[in-house]
Structure 1
Amino acid sequence: MSLGNELRTVLRGTVLEAGDAGFEAARRPWNLAIEQPVLAVVEAAGADDVAALVRRARLAGLTITTQPSGHGASGDSEGTILLRTGRLDELSVDPAARTVRVGAGVPWGRVLEAAGPHGLTGLAGSSPVVTVTGYTLGGGLSWFGRRHGFASSSVRAFEVVDATGAQARVTAESDPDLFWALRGGGGDLAIVTAIEFDLHPAPELYGGRMLWPADRARAVLDAYREVTASAPDELTAWFELLQFPGAAPLVAVDSTFLGAGGDGEALLRPLEKVDGRISDSRGPLPVAELASITAEPTDPGPGRSRSELLTGLTDEVADVLLDRPIAPLLSVQVRHLGGALARPSDSAAGHLDEPFALHMFGIPGEDGGAAVAARQREIADALIPHTTGRKPFTLLAPGERAAQAFTPDALDRLRALKRHRDPRGTFRGNFPLLSGM
């Protein structure tokens, strides 16, 4: 009996293997530049299906890689069963308690649509189609992280299937070690089927994008440095160099402010003084329209990214970023961190001492992405005196390792938990904890 037919005997959901119609599409991750040579794809019908799959894989000595939507895939999935949890789509908001419960397949856009009418928000990032679960397991760098910390810090409970196939509710009281690890430690220790987390007040939200031609980049960066030097935790601003195919290069500042528009506008006044603005979309912003600021693609496509953590935005850093065009990259983005992200947290995500994150993105060409990778490496190498080598887990790229995201103590603790909780290696996260040992 083939693996697919064997799995169909114990699962209610869809099972696909090589040769089945739809298998090639089902195994693809969000980033189409990444190959996933998996043995089979399982689309679970519910948590019971997940538990049944884990029990069968454990008995057969097989490994499961879980991807709700395919975001964050690293390509480290060869020979695994790819589990899709998109059908676990429950969503329930409790406005009085300011909490929400979501299934593993729920994207952030749905959460914001449900929470916004109550004057509440979750700690979402820039994309509405990234799932809450995958994002939160990686820590989750939110627009509102400076005010409220990593998204993982807002979790109250996880519902999981462990490496024996048992279902459990994990809280700080019921299983403090696993609760600590799942808040930012990745998907290598258990399969999360649902999350309950705190929502945060957002009765007023202001934000949008300011855009200039690239010849104003240095003036914009100077103003951006002035804004971020004294920004309150409620304000988040991202500086971005853009080079869209067939268009002139641009420079943008994207921002959100948890508060009244007049206050947010005043905080961004130094940027308004930079002349030559092409457009300015800032204004009162419904929570559900948060993704409109950057308008990231909502369909899969190929890409190559690289991120670094910056110790500051010195003149030397500015020179590296601005002295040459970013082509063939599509974007080079600097995110302001600090605030609550820099404060200690009792989670695997920990905290970030670095005040800025650099994120570089390009679309691979006919050379398979070699030119994009070379330009990213050139920028990163030039910035070595101003980077720490650590990378946020949620911004790891294919070819990088989980070890780069954690402090040595946190990594040791996570690896000990992996050996204890999953000694047979039934689970393989996108970035395995034991990789490179």
Structure 2
Amino acid sequence: MTLQAATKGRVLEPADADFEPASKPWNVAVPQSVAAVVEATDADDVASVVRYARKEGLTVAVQPNGHGASGNADGVILLRTKALQTIEVNAAERTAKVGAGVSWGQAQAATEAHGLTGLPGSAPVVSVVGYTLGGGLGWFARKYGLAAHSVRAFDLVDADGNQQHVTADSDADLFWALRGSGGDLAIVTAVEYGLYEAPGLYGGALAWPADKAADVLATFKEVTAQAPDELTLWFGRLEIPNGPPPMVAIQAAYLGDADAGQALLAAFDKLGDPLQDTRQERTLAELAAITNDPTDPSPGKGRSSMLTSLNDDVTETLLDGSLAPLLALQLRHTGGALAAAGPDAGPHGSIAEPYLLYAFGLPLSPELAAGISTKLDEYEAKLGDNVSGRKPFTFLTGGESASDAFDQPTIERLRQLKRDRDPANVFRSNYPVLD
């Protein structure tokens, strides 16, 4: 039997005209050389592809649209699940069930009609399933935890090609693992997750000239020290090559009414007139407009670190000198429900670190890519002991592994589950637990 005979979906191989664009990840700077691309039509199709791969001794990697790719997919069957577009909202039970191809933008539009929200990130084009399998650290994580913490059930295909409905009661170990360790143990075709009442949403971005950076960061530190869990702030520095002068920015989302949101952010109004101020009352579907993340494939190279404090040494490091060749440096306030999560919540457990640092550049040439890597190394070295040493799974980048996201007992538990559930290594996630 051929791969095409095993599936109802379109199969593309290297000799086909459309293979090259279909095989690439969303981050076009990540190299990816797959053996074939399959565009699955439904869960039955996914199961057929898995059974074929298992019989032929092949490996399957899943990318709805390629976010989170690590360069670890060479030689695999790349399974695209974008056609799995089921969206079911149960307003009475406050749950949503979405297929593996549904994006957060689509899901939020469906739940907002009922005055309810999930726990999305900043980019509306990222798939709910892929984001959730990696944990999912978004705007409302301080209030409700990772997106994975709200999962009620998974529909999946196991390494034998069997379809299962997995809950905490039906398979506690697999349910635990899938809430944050990626797609190395099964192919999830749909996820059911809890929804939350949304009393309102207030947020937006403020920007000032770069010479205000020290004052903005000091105010960020002051506000985050007292912020309720409903408020999340991100501090950023931005230097666009051949663009406008360098800037410093605050991005904020408050899950509540506009008057309360304005009061919580009032300290920033004392810093003088900003270059930009987009703060306003928003619909849930407009959450992504706070950051306006790119929605088209583009190149990128970055690295994250969890900070144990925002002391004077860290502050000096974040403010010192030019970012070049980096484009942006971002500091996200964490804590809240993330710190309160217990070991049963999923592989990440408690995320007690109060801040996440993410630095990012555009590797438009080999020379720029090398310079970005050097700059990222410099930041990490300067931060020293102020970095905890672990990273959220969804913030892993090329050259890192699952062991960078989890402590040793957790990674060993995940590795044993991989050996037990997928001994033939039919599945390969972006960051395999056995690497």
For the superposition of Structure 1 and Structure 2, which TM-score range results when normalised by the shorter chain? over 0.9
Are residue 380 (structure 1) and residue 380 (structure 2) matched?
yes
Q: Following the alignment from structure 1 to structure 2, what is the Cα–Cα distance between the partners of residues 32 and 46?
A: 27
2:357 is aligned to 358
Residues 3-23 of structure 1: CA distance to partner in whole angstroms, max 9, x if unpaired?
A: xx8111121001001010210
For the pair 1:95 / 2:91, whether they are aligned, the reply is: yes
* Letter of the 1:398 counterpart: G
Residues 169-178 or 369-378, more deviating:
369-378
- CA–CA distance in 1 between the matches of 2:229 and 2:59? 42
Which amino acid in the other structure matches residue 76 of structure 2?
Answer: T
1:37-48 aligned at under 5 Å gives the runs 37-48=33-44
1:118 paired to 2:114: yes
Q: Verify: 1:108 aligned to 2:120, yes or no.
A: no
**Contact 1:243-1:330 at 8 Å conserved across structures:** yes
Pairing 1:332–2:329 present: yes
Deviation at 1:279, TM superposition (A): 1.5
Tell me by how many angstroms 1:259 deviates: 0.8
Task: For 2:54 and 2:407, locate their aligned partners in 1 and report how far apart those are by CA, in whole Å.
Answer: 31
Tell me by how many angstroms 1:385 deviates: 2.0
2:28 corresponding residue in structure 1: 32
Match of residue 236, structure 2, among 233, 240, 246: 240
Q: Please, which runs of 5 or more residues in structure 1 have no aligned partner?
A: none
Q: Distance in 2 between matches of 1:396 and 1:134?
A: 13
Residue 224 (structure 1) aligns with = 220
Q: By how many angstroms is 1:79 displaced?
A: 1.1
Q: Structure 2: where are the runs of 5+ without partners?
A: none
3-state secondary structure, aligned to 2:251? strand
Which residue identity does 1:147 align to in structure 2?
A: K
Partner in structure 2 of residue 145 of structure 1 = 141
1:348-427 alignment, distance < 5 Å: 348-366=347-365, 367=367, 369-427=369-427
Structure 1 residue 349: deviation in Å? 2.4
Q: Residue 185 in 1 paired to residue 184 in 2? A: no
Query: Match of 2:43, as an amino acid?
Result: A
Q: Is the 8 A contact 2:153 2:167 kept in 1?
A: yes
* Partner Cα separation in structure 2 for residue 351 and residue 29 of structure 1: 31
Note the alpha carbon deviations across 1:228-285, whole angstroms, 9 max, x for none.
0011100000001111232211111101111111111111122111114111111111
Secondary structure at the aligned position of 1:210 is classed as strand
Secondary structure at the counterpart of residue 318 of structure 1: helix
1: CA distance, partners of 2:248 / 2:150? 33
Tell me, what secondary structure is at the counterpart of 2:358?
strand
Residue 289 of structure 2 is aligned to residue 283 of structure 1: no
Offset at residue 292 of structure 1 (A): 0.3
Q: 2-side partners of 1:36 and 1:368: how far apart?
A: 20
Q: Tell me the SS of whatever aligns to 2:353.
A: coil
C-alpha separation in 1, matches of 2:370 and 2:227: 38
Is contact 2:70-2:431 (8 Å) kept? yes
Q: CA deviation at 1:365?
A: 2.8
Please say if residues 213 and 276 of structure 1, whose CA atoms lie closer than 8 Å, have aligned partners that are also in contact: no
Relative distance call for 1:368 and 1:50 in structure 2 (3 A) is: farther
- Alignment RMSD (CA, Å): 1.0
1:240 partner SS: strand
- Preserved CA contact (<8 Å) 2:362 2:368: no
- Offset at residue 368 of structure 1 (A): 5.4
Check conservation: 1:150, 1:349, Cα contact below 8 A.
Answer: no
Q: Deviations over 1:260-319 (max 9, x none)?
A: 111111111221111141111111110000000000110001110100000111111111
Matched-pair contact (CA < 8 Å) for 2:309–2:354: yes
Q: Which whole-Å CA distance do the structure 2 matches of 1:248 and 1:328 have between them?
A: 15
1:260 aligns with 2:257: yes
Counterpart amino acid of 2:305?
E
Residue 98 of structure 1, CA deviation: 1.1
Q: CA deviation at 1:117?
A: 2.3
Question: TM-score by structure 1 length?
Answer: 0.97
Q: Quote the sequence identity (%).
A: 53
Of residues 293, 298, 306, the one that matches 2:303 is 306
8 Å contact kept, 2:299–2:364: no
The amino acid that maps onto 1:353 is: A
* In 2: Cα distance, 1:365 partner to 1:26 partner: 21
1:40–1:80: 8 Å Cα contact kept in structure 2?
Answer: yes
The letter for the 2-side match of 1:60 is: E
State the SS of the aligned residue for 1:271.
helix
CA distance in 2 between partners of 1:307 and 1:56 (Å)? 37
How far is the alpha carbon of 1:373 from its aligned partner? 1.3
Q: Which residue of 1 aligns with 2:192?
A: 196
Query: Using the alignment, how far apart are the partners of 1:254 and 1:338 within structure 2?
Result: 17
What SS does structure 1 have at the residue aligned with 2:11?
Answer: strand
Counterpart CA distance in 1 for 2:114 and 2:247 is 37
State how far apart, in whole Å, the 2-side matches of 1:253 and 1:368 are.
Answer: 27
Q: In 2, distance between residues paired with 1:413 and 1:41?
A: 31
For residues 329-367 of structure 1, give each alpha carbon's deviation from its aligned partner in whole angstroms, at most 9, with x where no partner exists.
111000000000011331112121110000111101322
Cα separation, 2, equivalents of 1:82 and 1:406? 26
Give, in whole Å, the separation in 2 of the partners of 1:120 and 1:215.
40
